[in-house]
Structure 1
Amino acid sequence: MDFHKAWEENEIKLSENEVIHVPQNDEYMFYQSVASGDIEAVQENIDSHRFLDSNGKGTLSKDPLQNLKYHFVVSVALITRICTEKGMEMERAFRLSDFYIQQLDDIRSIDELCELHARMVMDYTVRMTDLRQNANLSRTTNECLNYIYAHVIDRITIEDLADYLKTSTSHISRLFKEELGISPSDYIRNVKLDKAKNLLRFSDYPIIDISNYLSFSSQSHFSKLFFEETGMTPKKYRETYYGTTWK
């Protein structure tokens, strides 16, 4: 295939049809709304079906569904990077991106794709609402949070964080207290318990397997901490919330 010839023919076609891409500022403002946790602005974008608006969007495939899938990938990639810049743990952001892109394999209609896009952008937005304060965290604290998220299934200690960042445990403890209002061990515990909640809601793994997977010292210790956090046993929590909205 002569790509130079194909490119020139494409240029002529676009010029004749006066095809002009949407200004980057419009897209950038939307991505910033997501990254700033502006739920109202993002919901307005969803309700107006802006994702379906083809005006000013490049044609990436002749097939309408495939074209939107390509635009979906571009969108989630940019949102991921901007959210990371605004404080979301890098590992969390990229795992979230991978998760939503993988869902494209099962999409068979434009309506399904629009629903997935709405779910994706709102998922990032809601998470950023909770993480907005991280934009003001120190580099050391942000790197600690990223390490904790990436190693949530391991038994993590403050010594592990200090070794990873080549600093002292007292320095890390002070930063956590000053910037997050919580000790590193309590933060690690909370991240593990949040992960446990989602596993109880969206998986069929036995409770003892969840406890072991997240490296709690024992199932009884896991159940004790879980009850202190939620006021429910893991069994009761699963019975109450199984299959409900992703946290």
Structure 2
Amino acid sequence: MTTRPENIHLITYDEDPSVHRDTSEELSFFHNVFSGNMEAIHKNCDEHRFMDSSGVGVLSSNPLTNIKYHMVVTAAIITRGCIQNGLESERAFRMSDYYIRRLDNATTLEKVEEIHNNMVLDFTGKMRLIKHKRGISRPVTKCLDYIYAHIYDRLTLNDLAEYTNVSSSYLSRQFNKEIGIPISDYIRERKIEISEELLRDTDESILDIACRLSFASQSHFIQAFKTTVGITPKKYRQQNSVKKWN
């Protein structure tokens, strides 16, 4: 029977007699994610704080379902908080969707914790890069923005120098100095990052992924992927695919 609005005050909420923990620790955790504090988040994960049920609301009588619900809540808060703090919205939502899809297939508490920790470290790492980016020069900032917006294209140093209105030698030198790696390595790593998503979440062939990301050839893509990730694209898909494609 549906509760009438005028009777809403008659509902009792005392099925769970436990007292919820103070929100200060939770707020500190989210602040550390949004500020890119990798050290604090690593410590949180190492101490298994997510799995500590003391003072945490009971959302389901099933322990596995309960912890999954809590992770979905965490993902929603982190996603929107990171967007408010500078993470590109579509990227944030895609990250959230990916981890929740993985969560859906988890069958043990240990697997849920692993997915949760990977998620919070991933978001925190992205936020750390954003905070770092705010302290770099305008040409390098424009270069990073251009790379992200055109990651599927074939990107050259000359194209980037022309877009940022500086010489290629200056841009190359400043990028390496401020970001810590050469432009070509940065582009390759971002392309490989996108290819990992495609390998996990789609049934696109390795050749199609290589072409989509403008690698010179399939063999070039496989070599670059193995150099960056440590295994071949085929092996990565076998180990990480959310859905076992036919």
Q: TM-score range by the shorter chain?
A: 0.5 to 0.7
Whether the 8 Å CA contact 2:16–2:58 is kept in 1: the answer is no
Whether the 8 Å CA contact 2:33–2:78 is kept in 1: the answer is yes
**C-alpha deviations, 1:180-225, integer Å up to 9, x for none?**
699999865652254457778999976543320213465588689x
**C-alpha deviations, 1:151-177, integer Å up to 9, x for none?**
53355799x99xxxxxx8649x99996
Which consecutive residues of structure 1, in runs of 5 or more, have no partner in the other structure?
Answer: 162-167
The structure where helix makes up a greater share of residues is 1
Percent of aligned pairs sharing the same letter: 43
Mapping 1:48-197, distance limit 5 Å: 48-136=47-135, 148-149=147-148, 152-154=151-153, 170=165, 188=187, 191-196=190-195
Aligned to 1:2: 3
Aligned to 1:35: 34
Whether the 8 Å CA contact 2:64–2:109 is kept in 1: the answer is yes
**C-alpha deviations, 1:65-107, integer Å up to 9, x for none?**
3222221111012222333344434333221111001112212
Whether the 8 Å CA contact 1:91–1:146 is kept in 2: the answer is no
What is the root-mean-square deviation in Å for CA atoms of aligned residues?
Answer: 5.1
Letter in 2 for 1:32: H
Letter in 2 for 1:76: A
Question: Could you say what secondary structure the match of 1:215 adopts?
Answer: coil
Which consecutive residues of structure 2, in runs of 5 or more, have no partner in the other structure?
Answer: 241-246
Change (3 A) 1:175 1:81: farther
Q: 1:65 & 1:244 partners in 2: Cα distance?
A: 23
Question: Could you say what secondary structure the match of 1:34 adopts?
Answer: helix
TM norm structure 2? 0.62
Whether the 8 Å CA contact 1:134–1:142 is kept in 2: the answer is yes
Q: Does 2:235 correspond to 1:238?
A: no
Change (3 A) 1:202 1:103: closer
**C-alpha deviations, 1:25-49, integer Å up to 9, x for none?**
3212112223333333223322333
Letter in 2 for 1:68: I
TM norm structure 1? 0.62
Q: 2:18 & 2:231 partners in 1: Cα distance?
A: 54
Whether the 8 Å CA contact 1:88–1:134 is kept in 2: the answer is no
Aligned residues: 235
Q: 2:142 & 2:6 partners in 1: Cα distance?
A: 48
